[in-house]
Amino acid sequence: MTGSFKDFEALPTLLHFRELGRDAIILASAGNTARAFAYAATILDFTAYLVVPEAMLARLWLPIRPSEAVRVIVVEGSHDYAGAIHFASTLSERFGIPPEGGARNVARRDGMGTSVLEHARVTGALPRHYVQAVGSGTGAIAAWEAALRLRGAGFDGPLPALHLAQNTPFAPIHDAWTDGTPIRPDEDVPAQLARVRAIVSDVLANRNPPYAVPGGVADALRATNGRTYAVTNEEIAEAQRLFEETEALPISPEAGAAVAALRRGVAEGAIGAEEPVLLNVTGNNDALLRRDYELHPLPAWLRLTPEEVAADRLDRWVDRFA
């Protein structure tokens, strides 16, 4: 209902928090995640603090009227998703708001594994390949874990090989996997942000993904004999055009990145033309929602500057977070 596969993770996460007796959550987003959690928070009346870079604010809307439980915190003058993550962590510690946990949140991963479970339900088998565009890579970890569970439940065959796409020139997971170099999120940040501004699918621009941690993206790639791809803006545009021409449905740039990776994987022989593939088309650029619903923008609840947070000049906001 908010135009991306992030809907799969938001509802189980808030229900999981409610089961644990928590009544609020804080998280950072470049757009898709904030919409999904705002929708779930509205229908559950669960307080959600959503930290977003100012450059992403225009992407925040719902197909229903948002409730007062949705509290959007804007990082003024920012285009940086990783900065928003740090911002959310600081506010969480300062005001005692539980963080959503990122890739470590089992409810998020279980929710995002839905696509693999649905493939098994419909076809009666595991896919041979799983293709998705990634920012943090949590969806890829979720797909790997879902496949492991299905294997444990009696599904035969190898684990689906993960094929993970990023948008060059900002592709930290691809660079780390292909070059064997560690991801350094705090190294030459201005240059990293310049590369972020050069890509069309900036929702994939996570400077600090859970790559090398135990059970993270690197482990998932190794366990499934996976591959990564760095696709260009031009490849993404062509993939979007081809998908709409073939399926009569427009798709988002991040979904276009996955289609571009699929095309390259087949062309390079990494994916057999007759092998079963699960292509995770993660969003359709809200075209169907704009056609069928009135979209309501999410207003800013609070605006803060990075300098204000860094200097801990937050006392005047204590009452708002109470």
| Structure tokens, 158 | 């190898």
Q: What is the pLDDT of residue 58?
A: 87
Backbone phi, psi, residue 304, to 5°: -130, 155
What DSSP string describes 82-150? HHHHHHHHHHHHHHTPPB--GGG-HHHHHHHTHHHHHHHHHHSS--SEEEEE-SS-HHHHHHHHHHHHH
Whole-number Cα distances in Å, 249 to 206, 226, 265, 286? 27, 28, 22, 11
Domain residue ranges in the chain: 7-106+294-321, 113-285
- Dmax (CA) for the chain in angstroms is 62
pLDDT at 200: 95
What is the model's pLDDT at position 133?
97
Residue 316 confidence (pLDDT):
84
Residues 228 and 177 sit within 8 Å (Cβ to Cβ)? yes
The domain 113-285 having CATH identifier 3.40.50.2000: the answer here is no
Please report the pLDDT score of residue 127 as a whole number: 97
* Contact between residue 13 and residue 111 where contact means Cβ atoms under 8 Å apart: yes
> Which 3 state secondary structure label does DSSP give 216?
coil
Intervals of the chain under pLDDT 50: none
Of 45, 40, 32, 43, the C-alpha closest to 3 is 32
Report in angstroms the alpha-carbon separations of 26 from 14, 97, 166, 199. Answer: 11, 6, 26, 27
Check if the beta carbon of residue 257 is closer than 8 Å to that of residue 231. yes
**Fold: same for 7-106+294-321 and 113-285:** yes
pTM of the predicted model as reported, rounded to 2 decimal places: 0.91
Model pLDDT, residue 85: 87
- The CATH class of the 7-106+294-321 domain is alpha beta
> Minimal CA–CA distance to 49: which of 77, 6, 89, 109?
89
